[in-house]
């Protein structure tokens, strides 16, 4: 099974900051990587698929990059509604697996 490792596990940032979250796969997954956002007591919401494609309706301040084993989610200018937990997920092979999550908190 492919393991997914996110870093950091949490971070504190201010509104307007540029935020970067990293996700590493234990083996190559090409670009079969997705990012999700989850707010407390809510269902996850899809943000990015195929490593860098923005899901419809997602603000352009979110972007993804990477291929193979190393991936990045970037929020170019953090907004109040972006404080949440972010998960990466590989879907290159079964079983699909999620990273442990990165909690973005207000500084």
Partner 1 sequence: EVQLVESGGGLVQPGRSLRLSCTASGFTFGDYAMSWVRQAPGKGLEWVGFIRSKAYGGTTEYAASVKGRFTISRDDSKSIAYLQMNSLKTEDTAVYYCTRDYDSSGYYDYWGQGTLVTVSS
Binding site for partner 1 (CB under 8 A): 32, 34, 36, 42-46, 49-50, 55, 87, 89, 91, 94-101
- Comparing CB distances to partner 1, the nearer of 12 and 53 is 53
What is the nearest approach in angstroms of partner 1 to the Cβ of residue 66? 16
Phi-psi region of 5 (alpha: psi -120 to 50; beta: other; left: phi over 0): beta
Distance between CA atoms of 99 and 89, rounded to whole angstroms? 6
The residue assigned the tokens 């109040």 is: 80
Distance between CA atoms of 14 and 51, rounded to whole angstroms? 25
- Comparing CB distances to partner 1, the nearer of 19 and 88 is 88
What is the nearest approach in angstroms of partner 1 to the Cβ of residue 42? 8
């Amino acid at each position: 099974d492919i393991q997914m490792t996110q870093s950091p596990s949490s971070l504190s940032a201010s509104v307007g900051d540029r935020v970067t979250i990293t996700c590493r796969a234990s083996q190559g997954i090409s670009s079969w990587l997705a990012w999700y956002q989850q707010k407390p007591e809510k269902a996850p919401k899809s943000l990015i698929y195929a490593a860098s494609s923005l899901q419809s309706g997602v603000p352009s301040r979110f972007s993804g990059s990477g291929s193979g084993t190393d991936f990045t989610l970037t929020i170019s200018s953090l907004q109040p509604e972006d404080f949440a937990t972010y998960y990466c997920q590989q879907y290159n092979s079964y079983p699909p697996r999620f990273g442990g999550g990165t909690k973005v908190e207000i500084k």
